[in-house]
Homo-oligomer: A and B are copies of this chain.
Amino acid sequence: MEFVSKKIKKHNFSAGPAILPASVIAEAAEAVRDYQGSGLSLLELSHRGPEFVAILKEAIALTRELLNLPEDYEVLFLTGGASSQFFMTAMNLLPQNGNASYVDTGSWSTKAIKEAKLFGNIDTLASSKDKNYTYIPKGYTVPNDSTYLHLTSNNTIFGTQYHTWPATDRPLVCDMSSDIFSRPIDVSRFGLIYAGAQKNLGPAGTTLVIVRKDMLGQTGERAIPTMLNYETHIAKSSSFNTPPVYPIYVCMLTLRWIKALGGVTAMSHKNQEKAALLYREIDQNPLFEGTAAKEDRSLMNATFVSKRPELDNEFLAACEAEGCVGVKGHRSVGGFRASIYNAMPIESVQTLVNVMQQFAEKHA
């Protein structure tokens, strides 16, 4: 199995929903047409039937294996996106009038803080808002009475990423939507990890939650609707109600692909190689400059701007002409953003680098 298994028609640099491995796409399409010769589409199969039960079981087992999860962690495939985890984490983890610490590294952190405030005393320990979120704050102290410290591990919009975790003995609760499975992590630091699937894991429509069991059961008298209670989904193996069958299936295929290529360590090496290639060009090219602090640069989303903004549209057109799509930056940063998730082949990054070089030569 290779990173590139079909002729690349488009180089998809979208931030999410994002590129998926070509082999996953091919198998996912066939499963819609006829699931493994069953004569039925996977879309038509019961979530209680042996086919989907096996898919879900494998998705959970692969998550455990790839992240090397100890026994006391549970793996859930839910819905509602990371946006629902912003409140579900606080709702399920915080005692009545409990405290939690947050670090604000951009839009997603800000939303997580807003929702958590409905359920406890939320202390924003640090923020990089003062410099439009171009860096990861460091050097703060986490209070001993914090139930957890919440982080956003990778900030898709601002192109920053934690490369070391803060020093604290409090458990981390982390939104890893855009970098899960992109590198090894020391899971023992985390009480809960959540991730919308639609970047490194699969298509839109399911949300991975990994929770250490001792984080639960501390909410006292808080009334939690059944569907919002992690314990419901743990007890029923993510099948209390009808789970999002097809999104979970595509995640399972992606997890198989990650495993076949050598797991998260191999992903990490490839991701470092791709990011180095792209950032080298951003730094060398006279027309462009990176927006994030170098030590905090994301290996998933490279944000950069042009020194001659009047050429922005022409550059995007040059990208499109070579099949590089999704390069336009988020409105909060402007300029350009190249998302280079696990499934992005280095050949595509090289294509973008070539476009950048040719564009600079043309406008030298």
Contacts and interface: CB of A to CB of B under 8 A. Distances in A.
Interface of A: 9-10, 12, 14-20, 25-26, 28-30, 32-34, 38-41, 43-47, 49, 79-84, 86-87, 91, 111, 114-115, 118, 196, 198, 202-206, 223, 225-228, 240-247, 250, 323, 325-326
The main secondary structure of chain A at its interface with chain B is loop
Nearest to A226: B115
A305 B263 CA distance: 51
Contacts of A10: 38-40
B44 A17 contact: yes
Contacts of A83: 226-227, 240-241
Given A26-B33, A81-B241, A20 B43 contact: yes
A242 B17 contact: yes
9 contacts: A16-B242, A17-B44, A20-B44, A28-B43, A32-B32, A47-B204, A87-B228, A91-B225, A244-B244
Contact of A196 (B45, B242, B246, B250): B242
Given A12-B44, A20-B44, A227 B84 contact: yes
Given A32-B32, A40-B9, A244-B244, A46 B81 contact: no
B226 A46 contact: no
Chain B CB within 10 A, most for which of A49, A247, A323: A247
Given A32-B32, A39-B10, A114-B226, A245 B203 contact: yes
